Chains A and B, each alone.
Chain A
Amino acid sequence: MIKDITLGQYFPGDSFLHRLDPRMKIVLSMLFIVMIFLASSLVSLLAVTVLTFLLPFVGKIPMKTVFGAIKPLRWVVLIMMVLFLFTGGGEGYHILWEFHWQFINLVISVEGILKAIAVSVRIVILVVSVSVILSYTTSPIALADGIESLLSPLKRLRVPVHDFAMMITIAMRFIPILIEETDKIMSAQTARGADFHSGSLVKRAKALIPVFIPLFVSSVRHADNLATAMECRLYRGGNNRTRMRSLCYATRDLLALFAMGLLLVGIILLTAEVTYGYLGFRYV
């Protein structure tokens, strides 16, 4: 049932990626995204793709799980592919097929095909790399801590960073609880003869009322209880608060940053070489 949906996607483990500081992982995934967009030649894109699919081995994430993350993208990729495939017009392009009628100009060219493939590959490796570096290997709580710490310079500008991070943490903490509750309420109403899967759209929407009202009531109850509990422990925002697990960088974080830097420089050099160097093949 609903329980099978993996929200938050955290995949517990003890790999190198799991042990990295969450702040470092946020920075690394940003650098990785930059790298993906800098890899503007086919050869360097290929290199980045290979690197991306090495990441799951570093994080000890099963390939099956990684492909699970790509699967929902298939429609986006397909639409992008079709879009780029038929708009392949451009100066000096090798045109394979053309169709012009009133405002419609459809052109398929060698460069267009390459572009279509490149765009699709980029979307896929973007999702895979961020999933593996961040979502799969970082618990939601650690992620929120990392975001708070990275945004803390904004506190000087009176941005309520702590409150913001607390809200994210609480929201994420309650996702599994509310999913479980929805599942329970749906089962309970099914036991009383509710039918969520057949009938007209209106009928099905109406069938959800006995689920949403109790769910809403219980969300308010949870919020109320949590607020009381926080007040009982004298919670009053982020000032002077210390943490149970304070974030601190280790050697491996520096190592990871160094490796990332090397890769980034390598990809830039490779792209420059391929684009302006002797191979002379350019597609973007």
Chain B
Amino acid sequence: MTNKTFEKTEYILCAEHLVYEYGIGTPFRKKALDDVSFGVKKGRITGIIGHTGSGKSTLVQMMNGLLKPQSGKVYFQGEDIHKDKATLPALRYKVGLVFQYPEYQLFEESVRRDIAYGPSNMGLSEEAVARRVEEAAEFVGLDKSLLDKSPFDLSGGQKRRVAIAGVIAMRPEVLILDEPASGLDPIGRKNIFEGLLRYRDSTGAAVVIVSHSMEDMAMYAEDIVVLSHDRLILSGTRDEVFSHADELIAHSLDVPDIARLAARLRRAGLPLAANLYTVEETAKAIAALLKGGTV
């Protein structure tokens, strides 16, 4: 499962045998990625999970050509993205990347103008930019009244959504987000993820979420890629990946708490299905069992 060969056309964006090392030729040399291959499918939410320092952030910066792998290739719609350097700027509009703590990049005097930065760089007409700004704000659930405020006057969660809207406004076909919900309270997290789902559902774009929270992955990701110490250890659909619980635990990554609870209930004799990873699904399954009178 780890080293499958890719049918490039199956994926909108895929990586083959990526290798990246920082600080070559200095005493601070460090391997960030070693032979990592995976693919992202259109219209699906892919989660990339791994500990701090497992190379997640390096990996996502390669997917839109900000970093060039020392060996290996990245393909967008079957084309090597580094084949022609002149196409890279255009690629960055199609593969939108939201960095970690994106609220620290806000710089404009109003929310509206900050969201407009990306689409105006694309050379769109003023009306088109304005339309995209409103549309992006709607996707991330920002109230229209906030658009004319200074981004520096907003709350942390609102700032984060402004920054994400700034990338969504470019209407990327693949939207990659590095830890989009880190440091937010549960409501803030929910707002962010629901915005991403809305964007995926109405545009059919691929969404890639980098996270170290198994709970978030279980809730929202449909495909999962697991990185540990610069290597890819598992990839596949959510059910496939979580079925390798021992391997995850061996890399001290763990399965979601609720999955462990379900496993314990199964061991206690409850006939629960094997693929329960979210609180809602598990609650429904238990309720169904209770109603069915099997307990």
Contact = CB atoms under 8 A, between A and B. Distances in A.
Interface of A: 3, 6, 11-13, 181, 184-185, 187-195, 209-210, 213-214, 217-218
Given A187-B66, A192-B118, A217 B166 contact: no
Interface of B: 22, 26-27, 61, 64, 66, 89, 92-93, 96-99, 102, 104-107, 117-118, 121-122, 152, 166-167, 170
Contact of A193 (B22, B89, B105): B89
A216 to B, nearest CB: 9
Nearest to A11: B27
A191 B107 contact: no
Given A12-B27, A194-B121, A210-B117, A189 B105 contact: yes
B107 A188 contact: no
B117 A191 contact: no
Contacts of B93: 193
A214 B106 contact: yes
A188 B105 contact: yes
B107 A213 contact: yes
A188 B178 CA distance: 11
Contact of B92 (A3, A190, A214, A217): A190
Contacts of B117: 189, 192-193, 210
Given A188-B97, A191-B66, A191-B167, 16 more contacts: A3-B22, A185-B104, A188-B99, A188-B105, A189-B105, A191-B64, A191-B92, A191-B99, A192-B117, A192-B118, A193-B92, A193-B93, A193-B122, A194-B121, A214-B107, A217-B152
Given A12-B27, A185-B104, A217-B152, A191 B89 contact: no
Where chain A touches its partner, the secondary structure class is: helix
B121 A192 contact: yes
A191 B99 CA distance: 9
Which of B104, B122, B166 has most A Cβ within 10 Å? B104
B104 A192 contact: no
A12 B26 CA distance: 10
Contacts of B27: 11-13
A187 B58 CA distance: 12
The 4 closest A-B pairs by CB, nearest first: A193-B121, A213-B107, A192-B118, A191-B97
B61 A188 contact: no
Contacts of B92: 190-193
B66 A214 contact: no
Contacts of A210: 105, 107, 117
A55 B122 CA distance: 54
A187 to B, nearest CB: 5
A213 B26 CA distance: 32
Nearest to A191: B97
Given A184-B99, A187-B66, A192-B166, A214 B89 contact: no
Given A192-B167, A194-B121, A218 B104 contact: yes
Contacts of B170: 192-193
Contacts of B167: 191-192
Nearest to A221: B104
24 contacts: A3-B22, A184-B99, A185-B105, A187-B66, A187-B99, A190-B92, A191-B96, A191-B167, A192-B118, A192-B121, A192-B167, A192-B170, A193-B89, A193-B92, A193-B93, A193-B121, A193-B122, A193-B170, A209-B107, A210-B105, A210-B107, A210-B117, A214-B104, A214-B105
Contacts of B98: 191
Given A12-B27, A184-B99, A217-B152, A190 B66 contact: yes
